[in-house]
Each structure stands twice: as structure tokens, then as C-alpha cells.
Amino acid sequence: MARLAGYGVVLVPYGQYTFARSDAAPHAVLVTNWREDGPATALVDPADPQSAPGIVDVAPGPDQPFWSIQTGVFEVAWPSGFTVESTFVPYGLAGKHDSSISVQGPARVPDPDVLIGVGQTVTDRRTMGDGVQVIEVTYEHEGDPWWQAHYLLPRQEGRVLVFTAQSREPGIAAAREGLEWMLALD
């Protein structure tokens, strides 16, 4: 399970959850707990942090001026324009235009080409300054053009975290920028 940390607090959700940014207050987060009897929500304002039993626990945390997504294995920045959802393990991000970002691993990926699916066309391969390998592809889904990118973040013992972003136009730039902003924290 992922949690959010920043602005002096840590948000630890219960069960199936969603974190969404809120305009109610600067840096406020709307936490939704998806229950069998329907969604339960709580607004957490770091300026006046309060736990909401059964939805989210709020504890003292790092005094950093941004939100980060933490797991027991890694921590990345939370990009604006995306919600954090417990639909993937350890979490997934959802944005406009059907854009999404997910993470898997750490795992061994001896040949990154295994990440290229049938019918996908490689449009770019590069290695970023911090050793992150990037493979970008395009493909068609239900008659629409899509973009997908895999970012392989090196970890210990030859393992990688695989961050995958995908979107249809016009969300491609936001998905790419969001994923690269996430990795800037590591």
C-alpha cells in the first residue's frame, strides 16, 4: 500500500483508496476509501491535519514542500494532474485523456524489448542521465492512436523498477512530463 508524505504530514489510507488534489485549501488532499457500502471521503488539509477513522490516518511526516508517494521499497514525487489509486500494486496514477502511470518491481528485466507488445512501434530509445532506460512506443487501440513509454529505473542487484506511462492524444505530453517529474525525486 502506498501513502502520501509532505507538508509535515503522512497520509496512510485504509483499504481500497484514491488520493486526489483538492482546491479546497492549498495542498489539500481528498482521500476516498472505496467500501462495499459505497465511497467514504475525507479532506485532509496539512495546515490543520485530522485523521478520519476508517478512511485515512494522519501522522507527523517530512516537512517537504511537495507531496511524495511512498512505499516500503521506493519514494517518488506525486505529479499534478494525476490521482493516486490502489487499482494497481503498489498503486497507479490516472489523469486526463485516459492517461495512466503504473509501476512494477523491483524485478530483473534482462531484455527491455520484452516490454514491447505485439503491434507496437518503437519511436524512441534513450538512456537518461541517471541510468534510466526509456523505450517509447505507439500503437492503435480501438481505432485510436496511443503512446506508451517504459522507464526502467535501476535498483540494487541488477533489478529495476518499471514505470509505464500511456495516453492517447492530447494527454501524451502530460503523461511523459508527469512520469519524468516523479523520477526526479529518486
User: 26-53 b/e with 16+ CB inside 10 Å = b?
Assistant: ebbbbbbbbeeeeebebebbbeebeebe
pLDDT in tens, 27-79: 999 999 999 899 999 999 999 999 999 999 999 999 999 999 999 888 999 99
Q: Which domains does the chain have, with CATH numbers?
A: 1-70 (no CATH), 93-186 (3.30.310)
What pLDDT, in 10s, does the model give residues 90-118? Answer: 789 999 989 999 998 889 998 999 999 99
How far CA 46 is from CA of 20, 71, 75, in Å, comes to 14, 20, 19
